[in-house]
Amino acid sequence: MSVATVEDRTDLYIAGARRPARSGERFEDRDPATGLRLTEVAAAGHEDVQAAIDAARAAQPGWARVPPRERGALLTEVARRIRGVADDLARVESTDTGKPLSQARADVEVAAQYFAFYGGAADKVYGDTIPLDGDDFAVTFREPLGVVAQIIPWNYPLQIGARSLAVALLAGNATVLKPAEEAPLTPLALAELLAGAGLPPGVVNVVPGLGEVAGAYLAASDDIDHITFTGGAETGRLVMAAAARNLKPVTMELGGKSPSVVLADADLSRAVPVITKALIQNTGQTCSAGTRVVVHASRHDELVDRLAEAFAAVRVGRGLDDPDMGPLISAAQRERVLSYLDVGREEGSRMVTGGDGRRVEGLDGYFVAPALLTDVTPEMRVAREEIFGPVLSVLAVDDDDEALRTANDSPFGLIAAVWTSDVDRALWLARNLQCGQVYVNSYGAGGGVPLPFGGYKRSGFGREKGLEAIMEYTQVKTIAFDVRAPRE
Ligand code: NDP
């Protein structure tokens, strides 16, 4: 049997073995396409999370002593194994999250790429040599942090699970990973794939559970050395506050309201399909989703007409049937999205298309149609707040300066896109946009394995992905040498 199947019940993964929660408690994981029970997941309590931390603590020194080349070879082998069960993993991911099968397949490939990328980097984590007075010098080493906690969301459990685990392991850390309630299945499968590739027991532990129980315990633990959190800003605040009490460092990835800036000279036939995909990918539940368009007034009507046409053509359906867009993750998330559409109406924006909780024949899942809002102004909530659904807010501007000001007028700063045929304008905007990544005439939601990723402003801090993430998962030791000549 493949490690990647939806079983009737799933357990925790601690110290290299599956085990139920000590309390015996479980919670329901629902299929977003049908609203029906998919499986029952063991709910880690405090004792279970502590057992996972203890297992990680015991395993970490041994793992850190494994030569980097061997750690890298193991990660590379995991990439191979992920690709070996790609179809099964994609089906599980699609079923658990609701995302279209082809997007889930892309996520599987990206997950494999994370392991391949960090596997290749494992024996290339060098330090510096620092010349001092005379012959004196110092060298630096990047050492592991120890036991790291990783609290991840439901939107990309496999991709985010892979990017978190691969880099932590490359650096010689052991981890306790808490997946989200709504989508814990592929992170559990990853733990088993790692074990199959030879990872010693205890180095990776996966503890699904309720956020306010398992997540909160992990965040407040004095026995961990670092926390990486990906999710909503409100929960991020709680995690940071808990970590602060023990002076634990955190990396925060908190989402955004990412703008696509469409200048007067943009090629709309190139931009429209990309802007549409940047919104509907994963039903808008992507931290880096493109949810604002800032467009020059001279191109506004043409862009809106083309986007309305593209949105109307979006096929909504069950992930496994591979539509363009699947359901939202949960009833609560659909309520949230629909309530923002009411907010948009009350604030005076105009709904050009979408806005309904769409019916998909034979399914009672959490579907919505992609929504296009125009007449949006920068102070509106639909321009400022992360909705986390397929809702695109269009803001019209009169010139390039106003385009930059409007794009930057946001509490968030995760990513941005610039659409123009003029290289000077593209470079000027790219240099002046306040965000962690800028795409010129393209958009990079998800993926981007080698590209440092993280936020300015309230989108968070610290960087994941790329070689930059290795800095987050290591600490620097400096060793200084006082060099004397033999005769001294
Ligand atoms: P959360 O931010 O609450 O969930 C992210 C992770 O944090 C989950 O594993 C969750 O567990 C865990 N968690 C919840 N409460 C705590 C706690 N007190 N201490 C430690 N960990 C905790 O996201 P939601 O699912 O509630 O979504 C709410 C909103 O957040 C969304 O509508 C969206 O706007 C935003 N969001 C942003 C994401 C991003 O990638 N930027 C991803 C997900 C959400 P559990 O699942 O058990 O609650």
Q: In this structure, are 343 and 385 located in the same domain?
A: yes
230 CA distance to ligand 1 centroid (A)? 7
Least confident of 5-9, 205-209, 307-311, 355-359: 355-359
Rounded-to-integer distance, Cα 466 and Cα 464, Å: 7
Q: In this structure, are 206 and 316 located in the same domain?
A: no
Q: In this structure, are 378 and 421 located in the same domain?
A: yes
Pick 249 or 445 by higher pLDDT: 249
- What is the pTM (predicted TM-score) of this model? 0.96
Are residues 207 and 48 in contact, defined by beta-carbon separation less than 8 angstroms? yes
Q: In this structure, are 355 and 443 located in the same domain?
A: yes
Rounded-to-integer distance, Cα 236 and Cα 234, Å: 5
Residue 484 within a domain? no
Q: In this structure, are 299 and 355 located in the same domain?
A: yes
Question: Tell me, what CATH number does 323's domain have?
Answer: 3.40.309.10
Percent of the chain, pLDDT > 90? 94
Ligand 1 atom at minimal distance to the Cα of residue 333: 32
> Using the 8-state DSSP alphabet, how is residue 446 labeled?
S
- In this prediction, residue 5 carries a pLDDT of 82
Q: In this structure, are 173 and 304 located in the same domain?
A: no
pLDDT band at 446 (very low <50, low <70, confident <90, very high): low
287 is catalytic: yes
Q: Which of 77, 182, 287, 472 is catalytic?
A: 287
For the residues 188-212, what does the mean pLDDT come to?
98
182 CA distance to ligand 1 centroid (A)? 10
Nearby residues of 95 by Cβ (< 8 Å), 6 or more positions away: 6, 31, 33, 38, 319, 320
pLDDT in tens, 256-266: 999 999 999 99
In a 13 Å sphere around the CA of 1, the CA atoms on its Cβ side amount to 7
Q: In this structure, are 92 and 50 located in the same domain?
A: yes
215 CA distance to ligand 1 centroid (A)? 10
Question: Tell me, what CATH number does 227's domain have?
Answer: 3.40.605.10
Ligand 1 atom at minimal distance to the Cα of residue 210: 47
In a 13 Å sphere around the CA of 180, the CA atoms on its Cβ side amount to 21
Q: In this structure, are 50 and 193 located in the same domain?
A: yes
Nearby residues of 209 by Cβ (< 8 Å), 6 or more positions away: 12, 21, 43, 44, 45, 48, 49, 178, 181, 215
pLDDT(124) > 60:
yes
Is 336 close to ligand 1, i.e. is its CB under 6 Å away? yes
Residue 250 within a domain? yes
In a 13 Å sphere around the CA of 274, the CA atoms on its Cβ side amount to 22
pLDDT in tens, 9-32: 999 999 999 999 999 999 999 999
The single residue listed with the structure tokens 């395993």 is 59
Q: In this structure, are 159 and 274 located in the same domain?
A: no
Q: In this structure, are 277 and 357 located in the same domain?
A: yes
Bridge-partner residues for 252, per DSSP? Answer: 229, 461
pLDDT(1) > 60:
no
Is 45 close to ligand 1, i.e. is its CB under 6 Å away? no
pLDDT(273) > 90:
yes
Mean pLDDT score of the chain: 96
**For ligand 1, atom 24, which residue shows the shortest CA distance?**
232
Extract the tokens encoding 272. Answer: 């429209």
pLDDT in tens, 215-247: 999 999 999 999 999 999 999 999 999 999 999
pLDDT in tens, 458-486: 999 999 999 999 999 999 999 999 999 88
Residue 454 within a domain? no
Count the domains in the chain: 2
Residue 28 within a domain? yes
Return the axis-axis angle of helices 101-121 and 86-97, rounded to nearest 10°.
Answer: 120
pLDDT in tens, 131-159: 999 999 999 999 999 999 999 999 999 99
- In this prediction, residue 445 carries a pLDDT of 62
Residue 245 within a domain? yes
CB burial of 67-90 (b: ≥16 within 10 Å; e: otherwise) equals ebeebbbbbbbbbebbbebbebbb
pLDDT(358) > 80:
no
Q: Residue 437: helix, strand or coil by DSSP?
A: strand
3-state secondary structure 37-96: EEEEEECCCHHHHHHHHHHHHHHHHHHHHCCHHHHHHHHHHHHHHHHHCHHHHHHHHHHH
385 — phi, psi (to 5°)? -100, 150
Q: Which domain holds residue 68?
A: 9-254+462-476
Q: In this structure, are 217 and 346 located in the same domain?
A: no
Q: In this structure, are 67 and 46 located in the same domain?
A: yes
pLDDT(56) > 70:
yes
Is 161 close to ligand 1, i.e. is its CB under 6 Å away? no
Residue 467 within a domain? yes
Is 340 close to ligand 1, i.e. is its CB under 6 Å away? no
Q: Which of 181, 235, 238, 388 has most ligand 1 atoms within 8 Å of CB, for mutation? A: 235
182 is catalytic: no
Residue 400 within a domain? yes
Residue 91 within a domain? yes
Rounded-to-integer distance, Cα 476 and Cα 141, Å: 6
Are residues 152 and 168 in contact, defined by beta-carbon separation less than 8 angstroms? no
For the residues 313-329, what does the mean pLDDT come to?
96
